[in-house]
A and B are shown apart, each in its own frame.
Chain A
Amino acid sequence: MTLNKNSSSIFSLKLIREEEESLTAWLCLSKKTLLELEQSMFDWIHPEEKSTADRLTFPKRKISYLLGRYSAKRALAEINPTSLKKIFVGEGVFNHPLLHGTVSKELQISIAHTKEVGAALIFNEAQPMAIDIESNDGEHSSTIESQLTPIEKDFLKHQWSSTFGINPYPWIWTAKEALGKVLKTGLTTPMSLFLIKELEVEDSFIKATYENFPQYKVLSFLWNEIIVSIVLPKKTKMILLEAH
């Protein structure tokens, strides 16, 4: 599935699970320069976020920080557009993002970035989710390949199809990193534990399951040559709709 848009896209994710009320998550994907972010920030930035951003010296770190917050606020605007500056996206002890100041305490957030693209996923904690993104250009393929086990290399060789239009190495990185985020361990856990079990195309997504974490699956798609991978509970069906 390839979705092409200009600089930002907002998606609603309808999450359906048997015998449960369906929930909605919100996803924002944004492509912005540092200048664009700095010019717009007074519409959405919390004072604590501004203070943190001002202390960041290196441009690449500053852009990743602001991209994550911008994407988060755009997604949150779908729920409550009037109080974005009162919402603070902070961090927990594992540098995982935390929402402060939202009306609902059940809301959680996952953030990702690559180059000048940011992603934020806002979801209800009842259905744990996480997101990771990587460029489809394959720039880091040799590094990623070196981190794979022989089984995984063989798996990609035989299971991956060029018809997917997605580079398998950044894809598998996003699949593993997103799982690490939902577990809140990140990649401090050996990557080999996040072994992919099965792979198929389902409802225009690339869908994969995990050998050691059977309760989760990952759904991936392409947006402006950026691979987007979302981890969610395996039994939850996700319908992605572009809001605007």
Chain B
Amino acid sequence: MNTNDILEILTKNINEVIGTSISSVTPEMSLRELGANSVDRADILMQTMSDLNVRLSMVEFAAAKNVGDIAAIFHNHLASDSQ
């Protein structure tokens, strides 16, 4: 699975949780600018973890500034899991 696949999953979950209808979230967008509050953010991350069948601590996303960073964190975890 590559980062674009993960971005697609994130887009789906962002739209579901926040109620947006974005066709494609770009990596530069932040969840905050999309309108997510803290619990929305947790919802989006939890749903994405479920979709990707991974379990990460929320703290691992603390430094993520935008959706691209979030996707990269997921991608790195998946890549290290597969090794």
Contact = CB atoms under 8 A, between A and B. Distances in A.
A140 interface: yes
Contacts of A173: 38-39
Please report whether the interface of chain B is mostly helix, strand, loop or mixed according to DSSP.
Answer: helix
A58 B38 contact: no
B39 A144 contact: yes
A88 to B, nearest CB: 19
Nearest to B62: A188
Contacts of A59: 35
Contacts of B58: 147, 187, 190-191
B54 interface: no
B57 A190 contact: yes
B59 A60 contact: no
A144 B42 contact: yes
Nearest to B20: A58
A97 interface: no
Contacts of A64: 35, 37
Given A188-B59, A188-B62, A190-B57, A60 B34 contact: yes
Contact of A61 (B33, B39, B59): B33
14 contacts: A58-B34, A60-B35, A61-B33, A64-B35, A134-B39, A140-B42, A140-B43, A144-B39, A146-B46, A147-B42, A147-B58, A186-B38, A188-B59, A189-B59
